[in-house]
Structure 1
Amino acid sequence: MIKLIKANIIRYKCIETEQSFDVEDDVTVLVGMNESGKTSILEALAKTQYFENDEKFTFNMIHDFPRKQKKSVDKTGEIPEAVKLEYQVDNNVLHEIYEELGIKPLDNKFSVTYYYDNHWTWKLSWINTLEFMKEKIVSLEFENQDLSSSLQNVSNKSQFKKVLENKNEMGYSEDDIKKLDSLKVFFKDTNSWEKSPIDEFVVCKYLIPNLPKFMYYDDYYSLPSRVSLTKLEENFTDSAKKTAKALLELADIDIETLTKSDNFEEFIAELEATEAIISAELFKYWKTNKNLKILFKIDKKEEIDCYNNTRIVDRILEIRVQNQRTGVSLPLENRSKGFNWFFSFLVWFMKIQEKRDTTYILLLDEPGLNLHAKAQNDLLKFIFDLSNDYQIIYTTHSPFMIETDKLNKVRTVFEKKDGTTISDSVQEKDPNTLFPLQAALGYDLAQNLFVSKKNLLVEGISDLTYLSIISTILEAHGREGLNPEVMIVPVGGADKVATFISLLRGNKLELVCLLDTFTDQSAQSRLNNMVAKQIIKENNILFYHDVIQSDHADIEDLFLKSDYVDLYNKTFDVEIDSTTLTDGSILEQLRALNNGESFNHYRPANYLAKNIQSISFSNESLNNFEKLFKLINKLF
């Protein structure tokens, strides 16, 4: 499988300067105001590899290139770049390549750049042709050593072609000629990569067939109440008609046969059978009203000609929604837009699901915009369930379409004087852009975050527990603890620190971060970006390793090893000898002693909180924590 890992939109409509954002393995959320450029981002992605032939989803210099830059680009005569996408290949594909080529790819990432004339170029450097030929030729065991030597020095197409042209003159054996001909597949005349033919072979055979295709969906694809079947093929470019056609294809109904028939019972039965399958999936997530049922009716439109003969001029598919409790049915378009969106999306989506040999990335533009807040939450569950099999990128400005424990998956979209800006670190100052994220945090979260002007951001609950308890112990001994005005705020992991800083900074609060040594490079990158943009001062970021002067440390490393092991033993009812532990991370060593399995770091902290009266700590442990509190207090 190939996954999209980064999108670089170079120039497209309101995006006038190159914008990049990381794409999550499952769900990526684009949040921004109306007209901020969210739809343009999805369109630009869709036009790179759309899942079907559709002129609407191809790049067009006139309609898509930023207007105020178009004249200057036209004068150069060059075809400008539109989008550059970066992908990562999984081990299964790499193994297939290795099995055929006998040489391991040097990398698992590549990029594809798409241009405004709709051609695309690849960038990868996986297989060195010379190294490949050396390995391959040795394995083929040529009889003629001169031929073998010549082939082992081939590094491009021209050199291979020269060896091939000489095969009849050199008197090679029939067996050697067969082996030589077997290499032609790697140096095809139709291929164009002169200097990297083996990379091109990999692209053609393994990457292009597995490259994900984009499926774009918005409100315009919602099913209409009445569909002219006779004119359906003529209006195929209409988005709503495409969904209607998808419904008929999903039901295995041939439109041409239907438009020639006078008896529609068989076709209605197929539609109702398909509706039952779709509804079974729909009502897993649609909790608002489960009494609804889709009804289909196919009618014929007749007219009398000049000879007083009646003839059928059209067949009409009518779609209605019945409330089974009241018995009332209404045209689909007259029911709630939210229900129509959900049902129509499932029709569209299930149709593309039939293509099992293709991988899709779903682009959803303002999904569930007309749904009630609770129904949006149900839709959100549906989207995250879909993400087990598909990468999904969706846009929203609704706080109910954002999961508060997944804020690291959010990218903000904001329009400035120089065009649309996309941010990974939620760095905009615009309160309207930030509002959905702040609202999504919810009432309970707000109660914890906004009770103090001074906030110490830590990663988890165990940090909060240890810091609070040890501060109390130090103060009881007349030593310096944490400033009582400082509120300790656990954010739920290092990857959420950058988001919390962004959301809190608009409230004129003092912030200090206290973190474990980074192991997640993406979290470190986001925080470094915050520092570079002066959203938080570098001096206001503390690490536990700063206190004990080591390369790596978690809060547990502030304890003397014998102190923490004693706490660990009492928590898990084990007997580990602390003298067997060496310098370095205590958590890693305990994990190793636990057969490589991690343990709940909060449990020892919780045990300490419950048994504080019977537990004492060494002076060395208390010194480390006191040193930490002095550093924090100075920063506030």
Structure 2
Amino acid sequence: MILISAEVGPFRSINSAQNVEIDPDVTVLVGMNEAGKTVFLKALHKSQDALGKEKFNPTDDYPRKDYTAYMKRHAAKPEAATTLRYRLNQDEIDQINNEFKTSISEGFEFSIIHRYNNGKTIGIHVDEKPVINVLAGNAGLSSDATKAIKSCNTLREVVAQLNEIDLNETDTNFLAELEARTTETDWGSVIQYEIWEFLSEKVPKFLYFSDYDLLPGKLNLKDLAQRVANVKADPSNADRHIQPKHQAVLALLRMADVDMDDFSGTTGYEELKAKVEAVSISLTDQVLEFWKQNEDLEVEVDIRSDTNDEAPFNDGPNLYLRIKNRRHRGVTTPFDQRSRGFIWFFSFLVWFDSVQQQLDPSGAPKHNQLVLLLDEPGLALHALAQADFLRYIDDLAKDHQAIYTTHSPFMVNSNRLHQVRVVEDKSPGGTIVSDNLSGSDARTIFPLQAALGWSVAQNLFIASKNLLVEGPSELAYLLTASALLEACGEESLSSDVTIVPVGGLSNVATFVSLLGANGLEVSVLHDFSGKPEQKLDGLIQQKLLAKKSVFNVSQFRDASKFGQNTVPSDIEDLLPIGIYLEYFNKTYMKELKGAPILESELPESDRIVHRIERALQAREIKVRPSGGFNHYAVAAAFSTAPPETLDEATRLRFGALFKSINDVFAS
């Protein structure tokens, strides 16, 4: 089961509900400071936190400007804080169909509305007719009972119908069992209730983690024990007694199977230290699987008293955590004073493993039971270390969906922009969460632009096979089309070919010289104006480029003339006109004022972008001051939310293009 969408709001800075599509693996929330990224994560966390401690509180959580008005209706009509939608996997669907005799289909979805009074509304629809058909086939039922059952659409109707006719002994027993099922719930659909009871324990819970949850360098255990006792006596004020650092140490002790009573003097020092050290060593080994910046680090644990320290550390035993650096002859420093990135890794693993252990003390793995909410992870890491951390998140996402916030370009996979959601604080609407990259503030999407730029710069001297294209639009269309063809089992662009946008044909010579000087293979794909490109011909004559390595889009537009120059063409002309218009109209919905451009009003021309520009002129619409429109904005919309598949003709065109490029690099 996975979370597929989350509608959040009104909640704190989110004044109006924001419906956000959640990626099956990793979702990245990108935005400026104070935009509302943490607010979104907190709303999810309060919906169903892993340990069942978080609750919605209108005083803290409802948008303050509307709080007074809302509280007048809160008791009678509590609003929704979040609406979460989930999709079942095929194994879960098969299990439900086998157990409940239903016929739910692939991709079955249901929703949970979490309200400000901490109540839930379940949105689930299951047809009871297949269940009734199975019941009607029970052996021993009379013909009258069978006929009555078949005439019904719900189990409650079956009960009502059977109570109206004469029944034999088998019929009576059957009715008694069915009445017992119907009296267990006041839901209209008994089957929907029973399936929800089955699913309720499987719904993924949320685990939130931030810099506030880091382990401290030392903590007084007597003080910690007193705080735990205070929480038991005054649970309503638990947050006042137990701070995040206390929670982190409790998590470490819990993993080590150490109870607070063990510090009363009945358990020996060596035994306590051995338990905690064993866990620390195991966690350090896990961290170093992904921590490649310094693999000579390890965590040391000590438990001792120090009457000369300041209060409260001078009273009773203290837990000390230190980092040893074997690279510097075993020098140790307090845990909270060195290598913030390492501390984050270690602290997260402590908290993550502790929560899993609390959910299932037996230690048996429960895949996909958690959705990980990581607030600004890797913030203290070096840029290259953040790349290591992305691998770690991908590893977590094999079993648990992950949603994380960032404003670092190095925490964004430039080849997975479809996972990005931009978060902005706009007046007067408050926090807005969207997957529309093209309509976002330049400051908000700067990390994405920087990530793309870093990818290009990095690949210039690392990738051995480079396909030069004119701009980022080509990059977006080619990557997206390649992924769609690969999903269909058809030929896609080889994974070892790097697409490099060069900013126009005028820059090709420079890039060819740079790449060629490094002994790298180069191919070029460019738009076709209808006549030979002199710059490219010059490169071929100088033997900086092989003629067979230069392609233009027109050569793949007409299936009957693949490989031949045809009519003037841009990369957009490889897509169906209707598909391109759909994304154009979606991108410029506001400027078009709800009146999309139709294919029937496009003037005749070879290039779709020129046809649209002329249609805009005919309507006297300017979507930007300089005229025309931003081609990349449409490309970004296409790559962010691509169609599920491409039609056969389009797949044929892109397939021929990818095969030609792959063949050049393979020869």
Query: What TM-score, normalized to structure 2?
Result: 0.68
Task: Summarize the Cα distance change of 1:343–1:148 in structure 2 as closer, same or farther, 3 Å threshold.
Answer: same
C-alpha offsets along residues 9-47 of structure 1, whole Å, 9 cap, x if unaligned?
121000001111111011100001111000000000111
Structure 2 distance, partners of 1:283, 1:607, is 41
1:202 aligns with 2:195: yes
Which residue identity lines up with residue 388 of structure 2 in the other structure? D
The partner residue of 2:586 within 529, 539, 556 is 529
The aligned length equals 518
Report how far residue 132 of structure 1 moved.
2.4
- State the secondary structure of the residue aligned to 1:183: helix
8 A Cα contact 2:159 2:175, kept in partner: no
Task: Summarize the Cα distance change of 1:455–1:145 in structure 2 as closer, same or farther, 3 Å threshold.
Answer: closer
Aligned to 2:642: none
1:32 aligns with 2:35: no
C-alpha offsets along residues 366-389 of structure 1, whole Å, 9 cap, x if unaligned?
001112212222111111121111
Aligned to 1:575: none
Aligned to 1:372: 382
- State the secondary structure of the residue aligned to 1:216: strand
Report how far residue 131 of structure 1 moved.
4.4
C-alpha offsets along residues 26-85 of structure 1, whole Å, 9 cap, x if unaligned?
11000011110000000001111110021xx21101110001112222233421111011
Structure 2 distance, partners of 1:234, 1:428, is 53
Structure 1 segment 545-564 matched on structure 2, within 5 A: none
- State the secondary structure of the residue aligned to 1:278: helix
Task: Summarize the Cα distance change of 1:21–1:79 in structure 2 as closer, same or farther, 3 Å threshold.
Answer: same
Report how far residue 320 of structure 1 moved.
1.2
Task: Summarize the Cα distance change of 1:148–1:605 in structure 2 as closer, same or farther, 3 Å threshold.
Answer: same
C-alpha offsets along residues 294-349 of structure 1, whole Å, 9 cap, x if unaligned?
1111114679xxxxxxxx96332111111223332121111122221111011111
Report how far residue 473 of structure 1 moved.
7.5
The partner residue of 1:172 within 168, 173, 196 is 168
Task: Summarize the Cα distance change of 1:513–1:329 in structure 2 as closer, same or farther, 3 Å threshold.
Answer: same
Report how far residue 221 of structure 1 moved.
0.8
1:244 aligns with 2:246: no
- State the secondary structure of the residue aligned to 2:316: strand
Aligned to 1:148: 146
Report how far residue 466 of structure 1 moved.
8.6
Task: Summarize the Cα distance change of 1:232–1:513 in structure 2 as closer, same or farther, 3 Å threshold.
Answer: farther
8 A Cα contact 1:111 1:122, kept in partner: yes
Report how far residue 146 of structure 1 moved.
2.6
Which residue identity lines up with residue 38 of structure 2 in the other structure? T
Task: Summarize the Cα distance change of 1:219–1:164 in structure 2 as closer, same or farther, 3 Å threshold.
Answer: farther
Greater shift, 12-21 or 370-379, is seen at 370-379
1:65 aligns with 2:62: yes
Structure 1 segment 118-133 matched on structure 2, within 5 A: 118-126=118-126, 128-133=127-132
Aligned to 2:111: 111
8 A Cα contact 1:424 1:526, kept in partner: no
Structure 1 distance, partners of 2:416, 2:289, is 23
Structure 1 distance, partners of 2:101, 2:43, is 38
1:514 aligns with 2:572: yes
Task: Summarize the Cα distance change of 1:184–1:515 in structure 2 as closer, same or farther, 3 Å threshold.
Answer: farther
Report how far residue 225 of structure 1 moved.
1.5
1:332 aligns with 2:390: no
Report how far residue 443 of structure 1 moved.
4.6
Task: Summarize the Cα distance change of 1:454–1:255 in structure 2 as closer, same or farther, 3 Å threshold.
Answer: closer
Aligned to 1:347: 350
8 A Cα contact 2:470 2:526, kept in partner: no
Aligned to 1:269: 274
1:84 aligns with 2:83: yes
Report how far residue 360 of structure 1 moved.
0.5
8 A Cα contact 1:94 1:105, kept in partner: yes
Structure 2 distance, partners of 1:514, 1:27, is 29
Which residue identity lines up with residue 400 of structure 1 in the other structure? F
Which residue identity lines up with residue 192 of structure 1 in the other structure? D
Structure 2 distance, partners of 1:287, 1:152, is 66
Which residue identity lines up with residue 168 of structure 2 in the other structure? Y
Q: Which ranges in structure 2 are unaligned for 5 or more consecutive residues?
A: 229-241, 309-313, 461-465, 480-492, 494-498, 502-522, 535-549, 554-568, 609-646
Structure 2 distance, partners of 1:587, 1:414, is 36
Aligned to 2:264: 259
The partner residue of 2:186 within 155, 170, 192 is 192
Report how far residue 455 of structure 1 moved.
6.8
Structure 2 distance, partners of 1:60, 1:131, is 42
Structure 1 segment 456-495 matched on structure 2, within 5 A: 459-460=477-478, 468=526
8 A Cα contact 2:149 2:162, kept in partner: no
Which residue identity lines up with residue 321 of structure 1 in the other structure? I
Task: Summarize the Cα distance change of 1:391–1:535 in structure 2 as closer, same or farther, 3 Å threshold.
Answer: farther
8 A Cα contact 1:218 1:367, kept in partner: yes
Report how far residue 89 of structure 1 moved.
0.7
Which residue identity lines up with residue 431 of structure 1 in the other structure? A
Task: Summarize the Cα distance change of 1:157–1:282 in structure 2 as closer, same or farther, 3 Å threshold.
Answer: same
1:409 aligns with 2:408: no
- State the secondary structure of the residue aligned to 1:29: strand
Structure 1 distance, partners of 2:226, 2:656, is 62
8 A Cα contact 1:399 1:437, kept in partner: yes
Task: Summarize the Cα distance change of 1:475–1:257 in structure 2 as closer, same or farther, 3 Å threshold.
Answer: closer
C-alpha offsets along residues 72-104 of structure 1, whole Å, 9 cap, x if unaligned?
222334211110111111111110111123231
Query: What TM-score, normalized to structure 1?
Result: 0.72
Task: Summarize the Cα distance change of 1:266–1:609 in structure 2 as closer, same or farther, 3 Å threshold.
Answer: closer
1:228 aligns with 2:220: yes
8 A Cα contact 1:9 1:84, kept in partner: yes
1:603 aligns with 2:659: yes
8 A Cα contact 1:455 1:488, kept in partner: no
Report how far residue 350 of structure 1 moved.
2.0
Structure 1 distance, partners of 2:57, 2:581, is 39
Report how far residue 362 of structure 1 moved.
0.2
Structure 1 distance, partners of 2:586, 2:136, is 50
Report how far residue 475 of structure 1 moved.
7.2
1:287 aligns with 2:292: yes
1:423 aligns with 2:422: no
Structure 1 distance, partners of 2:150, 2:598, is 58
Report how far residue 266 of structure 1 moved.
1.1
8 A Cα contact 2:422 2:440, kept in partner: no
- State the secondary structure of the residue aligned to 1:93: helix
Aligned to 1:569: none
8 A Cα contact 2:581 2:597, kept in partner: no
Task: Summarize the Cα distance change of 1:604–1:325 in structure 2 as closer, same or farther, 3 Å threshold.
Answer: closer
The partner residue of 2:373 within 363, 383, 386 is 363
8 A Cα contact 2:85 2:109, kept in partner: yes
Task: Summarize the Cα distance change of 1:443–1:162 in structure 2 as closer, same or farther, 3 Å threshold.
Answer: closer
Structure 1 distance, partners of 2:576, 2:335, is 53
Which residue identity lines up with residue 316 of structure 1 in the other structure? N
The partner residue of 1:317 within 319, 341, 347 is 319
Task: Summarize the Cα distance change of 1:261–1:137 in structure 2 as closer, same or farther, 3 Å threshold.
Answer: same
C-alpha offsets along residues 528-578 of structure 1, whole Å, 9 cap, x if unaligned?
53232449998799x9xx9799xxxxxxxxxxxxxxxxxxxxxxxxxxxxx
- State the secondary structure of the residue aligned to 1:445: helix
C-alpha offsets along residues 251-297 of structure 1, whole Å, 9 cap, x if unaligned?
22233234343521112112222122111111111122222221111
- State the secondary structure of the residue aligned to 1:514: helix
Q: Which ranges in structure 1 are unaligned for 5 or more consecutive residues?
A: 304-311, 477-486, 491-510, 550-583, 591-597, 612-636
Identity %: 30
Which residue identity lines up with residue 408 of structure 1 in the other structure? H
- State the secondary structure of the residue aligned to 2:12: coil
Structure 1 distance, partners of 2:12, 2:186, is 32
Which residue identity lines up with residue 401 of structure 2 in the other structure? Q
8 A Cα contact 2:248 2:351, kept in partner: yes
